[in-house]
């Protein structure tokens, strides 16, 4: 698998990924709510066409790959996203993992070693199958693993998800990206948990670090060998893009160009923050923000074109290219 990255249309060389948005979402939903409490702004056919059109605009802006980090817990539906992939030139990368900040569904409390029903841990089997065989009976294979810690910290179920992700990484070499709660600085906890379990720091992207202006914290993560995700440009209800740009420029000047990736954590539709809310409260929160506004601002602020290429092309390709499995 070394050097090849799985996409919705099959494997491609990591050298062919081009400019990459490494932390995005096509659609974020919730299967039960979508069925029993449909969102008035959601129509699948309209959403598919809108997403495909949005990705085509991104392609015209020079973006070539988008990583969809919608995993279980966020309404992942690769068959739906495959309809989008068929309509665009963009290379879409699927992911696996489980998005929970505290607890897992009851099924996981009865299934697994030492539990009521027993058997192997279904999380490990799920993550490995998604990467090695295909997701939900399709031939779409995951190209990244995703785990979460938020302000609740390393709850027992969060630890279980992270343990399973580490096992799947050892089996497949696919990198792990994370959701963090920047005010808690819990990227430290993620590294302290994952690294002793066989995940090298350079195979971890500590996500949402762009929410923090604590330079000492960010340097600590990068000095440990991790890549940090400056991946929420446009989320100005959390922190202004001006502040995010200033942090990136400072770290570039200090020589950290090889340990950052940029993205938005945006979605074409999310029932958590639907399009009408985003238009009113976060108008720049879209996947076009980086090519249209942020990258020019970085260049104007003193970043070199080589540094921008490192952030947008070289670093994502390094992260996404699977390393050699160790099991």
Convert the pLDDT of each residue in 255-264 to its tens digit. 999 999 999 9
Helix (H, G, I), strand (E, B), or coil: what is residue 119? coil
Percent above pLDDT 70 for the chain: 99
Among 107, 74, 104, 76, CA closest to 92? 76
3-state secondary structure 69-83: CCCECCCCCHHHHHH
For residues 66 and 88, give the distance between their C-alpha atoms in angstroms, rounded to a whole number: 12
Residue 280 CB contacts under 8 Å (≥ 6 apart), including other chains: none
Among 173, 160, 43, CA closest to 109? 160
Structural domain includes residue 326: no
Structural domain includes residue 310: yes
Range of the domain at 37: 4-320
**Domain CATH number, residue 50:** 3.20.20.140
Q: What digits encode the pLDDT tens for the residues 198-240?
A: 999 999 999 999 999 999 999 999 999 999 999 999 999 999 9
The total domain count for the chain is 1
pLDDT score at 127: 98
Find residue 27's DSSP bridge partners.
269
Predicted confidence band of residue 3 (pLDDT cuts 50, 70, 90)? confident
Q: What digits encode the pLDDT tens for the residues 274-285?
A: 999 999 999 999
3-state secondary structure 273-296: CCHHHHHHHCCCCCCCHHHHHHHH
Helix (H, G, I), strand (E, B), or coil: what is residue 228? strand
Structural domain includes residue 272: yes
For residues 83 and 172, give the distance between their C-alpha atoms in angstroms, rounded to a whole number: 27
Q: What digits encode the pLDDT tens for the residues 124-173?
A: 999 999 999 999 999 999 999 999 999 999 999 999 999 999 999 999 99
The tokens for 126 are 């799920």
User: In terms of DSSP H, where are the helices of the chain?
Assistant: 31-36, 44-60, 78-85, 107-110, 122-132, 156-172, 187-194, 215-223, 241-253, 275-281, 289, 295-300, 305-309, 315-320
Q: What digits encode the pLDDT tens for the residues 295-322?
A: 999 999 999 999 999 999 999 999 999 9
pLDDT score at 198: 98
The tokens for 282 are 């976060």
Structural domain includes residue 286: yes
Structural domain includes residue 171: yes
For residues 274 and 235, give the distance between their C-alpha atoms in angstroms, rounded to a whole number: 14
Q: Contact, 304 vs 62, CB < 8 A? A: no
Alpha-carbon separation of residue 11 from 1, 149, 318 (angstroms) = 9, 30, 15
pLDDT score at 1: 38
Structural domain includes residue 267: yes
Does the structure show a pLDDT above 80 at 2? no
Structural domain includes residue 327: no
Structural domain includes residue 118: yes
């Amino acid at each position: 698998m070394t050097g090849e990255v799985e996409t919705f249309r099959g494997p491609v060389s990591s050298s062919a990924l081009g400019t990459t948005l490494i932390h995005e979402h096509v659609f974020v939903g919730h299967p039960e709510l979508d069925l029993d409490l449909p969102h008035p702004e959601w129509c699948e056919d309209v959403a598919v066409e809108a997403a495909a059109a949005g990705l085509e605009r991104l392609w015209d802006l020079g973006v070539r790959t988008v990583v969809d980090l919608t995993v279980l817990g966020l309404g992942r539906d690769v068959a739906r996203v495959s309809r989008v992939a068929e309509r665009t030139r963009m290379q879409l990368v699927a992911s696996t993992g489980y998005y929970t900040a505290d607890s897992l569904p009851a099924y996981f409390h009865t299934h697994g070693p030492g539990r009521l029903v027993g058997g192997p841990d279904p999380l490990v089997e799920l993550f490995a199958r998604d990467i090695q065989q295909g997701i939900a009976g399709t031939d779409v294979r995951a190209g990244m693993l995703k785990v979460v810690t938020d302000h609740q910290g390393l709850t027992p179920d969060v630890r279980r998800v992270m343990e399973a992700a580490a096992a799947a990484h050892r089996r497949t070499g696919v990198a792990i990206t994370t959701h963090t709660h920047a005010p808690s600085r819990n990227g430290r906890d993620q590294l302290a948990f994952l690294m002793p379990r066989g995940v090298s720091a350079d195979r971890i992207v500590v996500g949402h670090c762009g929410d923090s202006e604590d330079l000492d914290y960010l340097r600590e993560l990068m000095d440990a060998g991790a890549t940090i995700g400056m991946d929420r440009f446009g989320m100005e209800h959390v922190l202004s893009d001006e502040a995010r740009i200033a942090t990136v420029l400072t770290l570039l000047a200090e020589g950290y160009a090889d340990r950052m990736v940029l993205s938005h954590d945006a979605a074409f539709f999310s029932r958590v923050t639907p399009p009408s809310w985003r238009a009113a409260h976060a108008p720049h929160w879209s996947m076009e923000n980086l090519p249209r506004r942020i990258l020019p601002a970085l260049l104007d602020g003193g970043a070199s074109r080589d540094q921008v290429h490192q952030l947008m092309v070289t670093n994502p390709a390094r992260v996404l290219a699977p390393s050699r499995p160790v099991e």
